[in-house]
Amino acid sequence: MTIAPPDTDVALGQHPMLIEWRPGIVYQTPLAKYNLVGDDAALTNSAFAYLFGKYGAGTVKRGPFTFTDKTTINVPYVAPMYFEGSGPDATLNNWVGTGDWLRMYNNYVPSGGSSSILVWGGGCSNMSTFGLSNGTQNGIHTGDMKRARFTNLNLHHFSGGIAMWVDNTLFWTEDCIFDYHSQDTGVALQLDVHGGTNAHDNCIYHVNMGQIGANNQNGVNFINGANLYHTVWYLHGGIRSSSTPTTSTLLNFFPSSGTSIAHSFFIIQMESDGGAANKPTTMNLPAGCSINGGFMYADFMNSYNSATIGGQFQVSGHINGDNTMANHVPASPGITLGTPFTNPQNDAVFCLTGGTVTAVLVNGVTTGQTSGPFIVTAGSTIQINGSVLPTINVYSMIAQG
């Protein structure tokens, strides 16, 4: 049976899921459970297409609703689109399909900078969605948005996938707000790039995580060269330990992705039950990735695996619970043989390995050592003499609790 897309307000008024799609007009429908299966799912997707294309916003009544087909909302340039529920305890969605439950993005590619984006806004708010399949399921897959808001959401039980996937495919993501609770998900948040630009700028991320680490679950993945600038982070919740080996990481940067976070503000408050032998790792920052500039306050309660830091990590702030999260500059390209180099940052330890070194001087004084750690306070100089420059790693401590 083929159901034609509804093309009138009357047809939408008979739809059992939608109760409002423009200010001032509310259609009364029974508050009963409604499963979107088969032709019902086709009707609902076509109803969404008409609803958002004409009015740009809609309100979904109380659930629970069961979705079997992916819902795609391609935001046109004529109006922003808002998928609104009646509250996270009222609008309850069960996702039993595979892949993305909701795919929302702006399909209008701007010709220039932000001023050429014709419509700003859009998003999804005030509802709960639960992954009810053992397969790979994702909650919300978005990206290519400006001033969108994804707020007051519960995204739970996407154990094989991603709760919130912010993925640039056409241009960039900017000035957006992400505020939600993630429970028992493979990845609570993933910042990704599959086209367009790598910019994820000026966004706010407030993520309350639950049970990260129980089944190799990561907190935040940074992948494919995502570049974040002037972002604000508040990450909090609980991380379970595991009785079996785990690869879970709270902040996980993928190797060789070139991901960077610059001039951003972090508040991280994470707990762990500390009961089992295998703990999640606080941060994995491999060579080629960086967090540079900004402020970080992090409080890791109970037990965690120490951070693995091979990339540049330079922030001010205070870290409690992982004293390996020291500022780290993996290489100092400004250092040349025989020339004094002035330390431009906080008091630091310069670690020298390899090369052919005949002398190391700090503030013009020969140290008597040619390798190992050298303390160089802020504004002081280090000079390396020899024929082959060694490998240089620089660590400057931030306050530890």
| Number of neighbouring beta carbons within 10 Å of residue 256 | 11
Inform me whether the pLDDT recorded for 183 exceeds 50.
Answer: yes
Task: Take residue 240 and report the two structure tokens written for it.
Answer: 């379970």
Per-residue pLDDT, 349: 86
Q: How confident is the model at residue 50 (pLDDT cuts 50, 70, 90)?
A: low
Question: pLDDT tens-digit profile of 343-392?
Answer: 876 678 888 999 999 999 999 999 999 999 999 987 899 999 999 999 88
Residue pair 266/236 in contact (Cβ under 8 Å)? The answer is no
Residue pair 81/150 in contact (Cβ under 8 Å)? The answer is no
Please identify which residue in the block is written with the tokens 């909701």: 102
- In angstroms, the CA 323 to CA 352 distance is 21
- In angstroms, the CA 138 to CA 267 distance is 26
Task: Give SS3 for 266.
Answer: strand
Residue pair 343/366 in contact (Cβ under 8 Å)? The answer is no
Q: Output the DSSP codes for 4-19.
A: PPP-SHHHHHT-SSEE
Task: Take residue 330 and report the two structure tokens written for it.
Answer: 């993996």
> Helices marked H in 271-395 — which ranges?
none
pTM over the 0.85 mark = no
- State whether the Cα torsion 371-377-383-389 is positive or negative: positive
Query: What's the chain's average pLDDT?
Result: 77
Q: How confident is the model at residue 55 (pLDDT cuts 50, 70, 90)?
A: very low
- In angstroms, the CA 176 to CA 222 distance is 17
First-last CA distance in the chain? 65
Of the listed ranges 76-90, 183-197, 313-327, 336-350, the one predicted with least confidence: 76-90
Residue pair 398/315 in contact (Cβ under 8 Å)? The answer is yes
Question: pLDDT tens-digit profile of 138-155?
Answer: 999 999 888 899 999 999
Please identify which residue in the block is written with the tokens 């702030």: 317
Mean pLDDT of 18-46: 37
| Number of neighbouring beta carbons within 10 Å of residue 8 | 9
- In angstroms, the CA 185 to CA 216 distance is 9
394: enclosing H helix or E strand: strand 391-396
Inform me whether the pLDDT recorded for 9 exceeds 50.
Answer: no
Beta-carbon contacts of residue 197 (< 8 Å; ≥ 6 apart):
168, 171, 172
| Number of neighbouring beta carbons within 10 Å of residue 112 | 7
Residue 307 DSSP one-character state: P
As to burial, measured by CB atoms within 10 angstroms (0-12 exposed, 13-18 middle, 19+ buried), residue 334 is exposed
- In angstroms, the CA 34 to CA 19 distance is 13
Question: pLDDT tens-digit profile of 254-267?
Answer: 876 678 999 999 99
Query: What are phi and psi for residue 287, nearest 5 degrees?
Result: -55, 140
Mean pLDDT of 307-317: 84
Query: What are phi and psi for residue 17, nearest 5 degrees?
Result: -105, -35
Beta-carbon contacts of residue 353 (< 8 Å; ≥ 6 apart):
371, 390, 391, 393
Per-residue pLDDT, 370: 95
Domain boundary assignment for the chain:
9-326, 341-400
- In angstroms, the CA 387 to CA 354 distance is 12
Mean pLDDT of 315-330: 79
Task: Take residue 359 and report the two structure tokens written for it.
Answer: 């002398």
Residue pair 75/118 in contact (Cβ under 8 Å)? The answer is no
Question: pLDDT tens-digit profile of 195-252?
Answer: 888 999 999 999 999 866 666 788 999 999 999 999 999 999 987 777 776 678 899 9
- In angstroms, the CA 110 to CA 170 distance is 9
The closest alpha carbon to 199, from 177, 219, 178, 175, belongs to 175
